[in-house]
């Protein structure tokens, strides 16, 4: 059959365009890179990379000019290496990516540079389940390196364990964090944070700008953000996005540890930025929004969902008009695969996670008690249990803390030391102090507090023994050092009389549990409400 020459040219061109993006994965889950037609192109370093990291810039266009990319985006991973019940977690994520997305898992630096797929995170990588929190985020940092994340926005919880820990875990992860609005005193150690980078994927230069929520200090101990300032997000983008375009990006995306509604408002005001995608985070929402023509997506939290963003780029078009298509979608992460079904990269991740779990078992495996039916996070029952234990162990009249400090439900069954780390993952200590009744009421009302030992009844405040709080009297109060120092807006520090810093906030609860010896026949619930 005779094929006209023009049809042969079109067919060959289409095959060449598809080849790098359409290659199938090999048996271990790694995608095989297809040799590029532009392999002979000589790169030239960008001269406009001040303030970020620029990729090499082309001296001529690759052939063909149309290229496909696949961005895979997660956020607020919070150390979830294993599933929630039956679904989600890092192992399930990598299995799904390699099996259904054709994701290339790098086994060496640069191994996947010619492949279309790449993974980014919106930050808050580490603090979460006991194993990750107890080991200060290192197990999750190792997991993210094995998965092959290229960068993450700096989240507020990256600073939970102090700035030095950020430096150490970034070395483990193998990448810098991104935050265009984070600045720090020159006297402080250099943090592994860049405002932006340009990544080379499948011969496309992808500009990536990072942001951190300006509310970060309200979630942290003062020592964690000493010397740091957080610029307003819009101002940082106004300054930074033009820099990335000037450095030679083919497209620009933003990964922001900032709530999606905030990012929608900001980018909707600035169509001139020509952003392809905004990955939001921090609010743990499952949202698909648009700021003008720019998609703004947040994939919930704790590795239950991810965002897949297929992008098609025509490198022959003018710089800010090269994106032909970007179609993000939210995807649920499925169940943990059977070990026999795991590819080699997934099996490596699985074994790595299990080794870290075993390393923490001696400390975290102690059985402290038993719950018959479990308790929801921040419910009255959990408040009575945790804050009640603080109050009784430290012989205080009242215990108070901020909302959102309890991070997980209590499941039914054995209560282990690991359980307390799951629920209270932060590195806080308890502070006991004397407060006047007036100041006690002030803190109970100012900041939407969780409290035990005091309650409001009509227009009166009553202690647990029925006494009315006397504004002029003095009471013994216990709270975590985070709230004592002003976290969440509390006023304790300026009001406290004779403050005493005690031990880890989980230890008092563990001591209370050991004293009460709850069992199947005498579960925790029976102790709380007898």
Higher confidence at residue 424 or residue 59? 424
Q: Residue 478's pLDDT is what? A: 98
Q: What percent of the chain has pLDDT over 70?
A: 88
What average pLDDT score do residues 485-504 get? 96
Report pLDDT digits (tens) over 417-436. 999 999 999 999 999 999 99
Residue 127 belongs to a domain with what CATH number?
A: 3.60.21.10
Report pLDDT digits (tens) over 326-370. 999 999 999 999 999 999 999 999 999 999 988 888 789 999 999
One domain, residues 346 and 405: no
Is a pLDDT exceeding 80 seen at residue 309?
A: yes
One domain, residues 382 and 340: no
Higher confidence at residue 190 or residue 463? 463
Q: Residue 44's pLDDT is what? A: 26
Tell me whether residue 88 is in a domain: yes
Is a pLDDT exceeding 60 seen at residue 49?
A: no
Q: Supply φ then ψ for residue 522, to 5 degrees.
A: -140, 75
Q: Residue 229's pLDDT is what? A: 95
Q: How confident is the model at residue 380 (pLDDT cuts 50, 70, 90)?
A: very high
CA separation for the pair 39, 202 (Å, rounded):
11
One domain, residues 156 and 292: yes
**pLDDT, averaged across the chain:** 89
Report pLDDT digits (tens) over 177-187. 999 999 998 87
Is a pLDDT exceeding 70 seen at residue 2?
A: no
Q: How confident is the model at residue 52 (pLDDT cuts 50, 70, 90)?
A: low
Q: What residues form DSSP beta bridges with 476? A: 434
Tell me whether residue 35 is in a domain: no
One domain, residues 493 and 374: yes
Tell me whether residue 409 is in a domain: yes
Could you tell me where the beta strands, DSSP code E, fall in 302-425? 305-314, 323-326, 329-332, 367-371, 398-401, 413-416
Q: Residue 85's pLDDT is what? A: 84
Q: How confident is the model at residue 31 (pLDDT cuts 50, 70, 90)?
A: very low
Is a pLDDT exceeding 70 seen at residue 24?
A: no
Is a pLDDT exceeding 90 seen at residue 521?
A: yes
Q: Residue 275's pLDDT is what? A: 98
Report pLDDT digits (tens) over 125-148. 999 999 999 999 999 999 999 999
The domain boundary residue, chosen from 297, 323, 357: 357
Q: Residue 362's pLDDT is what? A: 79
CA separation for the pair 236, 267 (Å, rounded):
12
Report pLDDT digits (tens) over 214-248. 999 988 999 999 999 999 999 999 999 999 999 99
One domain, residues 214 and 346: yes
The domain boundary residue, chosen from 357, 382, 415: 357
Is a pLDDT exceeding 80 seen at residue 22?
A: no
pTM over 0.75: yes
Report pLDDT digits (tens) over 392-404. 999 999 999 999 9
> Of 421, 204, 425, 444, nearest to 310 (Cα)?
204
Q: What percent of the chain has pLDDT over 90?
A: 82
Q: Residue 61's pLDDT is what? A: 56
Could you tell me where the beta strands, DSSP code E, fall in 134-285? 151-153, 177-178, 182-184, 193-194, 196-201, 204-212, 228-230, 251-257, 275-279
One domain, residues 352 and 408: no
Q: Residue 58's pLDDT is what? A: 56
Please give the tally of structural domains in the chain. Answer: 2
One DSSP character per residue, 257-283 reads: ES-HHHHHHHHHT-GGG-EEEEE--SS
> Of 237, 215, 382, nearest to 296 (Cα)?
237
One domain, residues 247 and 263: yes
Tell me whether residue 212 is in a domain: yes
Paired sense of beta strands 398-401 and 329-332, if any: unpaired
Tell me whether residue 17 is in a domain: no
CA separation for the pair 362, 265 (Å, rounded):
48
Residue 509 belongs to a domain with what CATH number?
A: 3.90.780.10
What average pLDDT score do residues 504-518 get? 97
Report pLDDT digits (tens) over 81-125. 999 889 999 999 999 999 999 999 998 889 999 999 999 999 999
Chain centroid, CA 335 distance in Å:
21
Q: How confident is the model at residue 47 (pLDDT cuts 50, 70, 90)?
A: very low
One domain, residues 277 and 385: no
Is a pLDDT exceeding 90 seen at residue 176?
A: yes
Q: Residue 189's pLDDT is what? A: 81
What average pLDDT score do residues 142-164 get? 97
Q: What is the span of the domain harbouring residue 104?
A: 69-357
Could you tell me where the beta strands, DSSP code E, fall in 391-473? 398-401, 413-416, 429-436, 450-452, 454-457, 460-463
Q: How confident is the model at residue 39 (pLDDT cuts 50, 70, 90)?
A: very low
One domain, residues 334 and 457: no
Distances from the Cα of 35 to the Cα of 22, 25, 132, 202, 497, angstroms: 13, 15, 39, 10, 71
Tell me whether residue 6 is in a domain: no
One domain, residues 125 and 223: yes
Is a pLDDT exceeding 50 seen at residue 391?
A: yes
Tell me whether residue 13 is in a domain: no
The domain boundary residue, chosen from 323, 341, 357: 357
One domain, residues 272 and 335: yes
Tell me whether residue 28 is in a domain: no
One domain, residues 342 and 390: no
């Amino acid at each position: 059959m005779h094929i006209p020459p023009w049809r042969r040219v079109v067919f060959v061109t289409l095959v060449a365009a598809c080849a790098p993006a359409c290659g199938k994965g090999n048996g271990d889950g790694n995608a095989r890179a297809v040799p590029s037609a532009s392999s002979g192109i000589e790169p030239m370093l960008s001269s406009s990379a001040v303030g970020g990291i620029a990729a090499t810039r082309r001296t001529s266009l690759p052939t063909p000019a149309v290229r496909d990319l696949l961005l895979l985006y997660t956020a607020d991973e919070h150390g979830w290496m294993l599933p929630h019940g039956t679904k989600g977690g890092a192992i399930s994520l990598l299995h799904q990516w390699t099996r259904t997305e054709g994701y290339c898992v790098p086994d060496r630096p640069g191994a996947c540079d010619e492949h279309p797929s790449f993974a980014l995170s919106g930050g808050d990588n580490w603090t979460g389940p006991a194993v990750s929190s107890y080991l200060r985020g290192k197990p999750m940092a190792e997991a993210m390196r094995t998965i092959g994340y290229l960068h993450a926005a700096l989240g507020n919880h990256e600073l939970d364990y102090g700035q030095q820990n950020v430096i150490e875990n970034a070395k483990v992860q193998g990448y810098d964090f991104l935050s265009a609005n984070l600045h720090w005193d020159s006297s402080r150690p250099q943090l592994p944070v860049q405002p932006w980078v340009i990544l080379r994927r499948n011969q496309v230069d992808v500009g990536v700008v990072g942001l951190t929520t300006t509310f970060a200090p309200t979630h942290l101990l003062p020592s964690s953000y000493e010397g740091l300032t957080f610029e307003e997000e819009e101002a940082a983008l106004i300054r930074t996005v033009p820099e990335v375009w000037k450095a030679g990006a083919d497209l620009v995306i933003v990964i922001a540890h900032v709530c999606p509604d905030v990012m929608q408002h900001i980018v909707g005001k600035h169509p001139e930025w020509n952003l392809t995608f905004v990955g939001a985070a921090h609010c743990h929402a499952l949202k698909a929004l648009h700021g003008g023509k720019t998609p703004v997506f947040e994939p919930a939290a704790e590795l239950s969902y991810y965002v897949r963003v297929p992008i098609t780029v025509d490198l022959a078009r003018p710089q800010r008009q090269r994106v032909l298509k970007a179609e993000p979608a939210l995807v649920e992460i499925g169940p943990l695969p059977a070990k026999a079904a795991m590819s080699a990269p997934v099996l490596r991740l699985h074994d790595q996670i299990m080794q870290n779990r075993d390393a923490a078992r001696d400390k975290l495996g102690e059985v402290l008690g038993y719950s018959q039916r479990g308790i929801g996070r921040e419910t009255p029952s959990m408040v009575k249990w945790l804050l009640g234990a603080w109050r009784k162990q430290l012989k205080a009249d009242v215990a108070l803390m901020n909302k959102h400090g309890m991070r997980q439900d209590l499941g039914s069954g054995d209560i282990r030391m690991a359980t307390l780390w799951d629920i209270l993952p932060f590195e806080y200590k308890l502070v006991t102090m004397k407060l006047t009744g007036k100041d006690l009421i002030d803190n109970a009302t100012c900041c939407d507090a969780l409290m035990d030992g005091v309650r409001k009844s009509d227009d009166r405040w009553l202690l647990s023994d029925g006494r009315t709080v006397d504004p002029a009297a003095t009471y013994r109060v216990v709270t975590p050092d985070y709230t004592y120092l002003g976290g969440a807006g509390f006023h304790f520090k300026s009001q406290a009389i004779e403050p005493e810093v005690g031990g880890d906030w989980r230890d008092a609860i563990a001591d209370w549990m050991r004293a009460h010896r709850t069992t199947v026949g005498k579960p925790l619930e029976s102790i709380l409400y007898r």
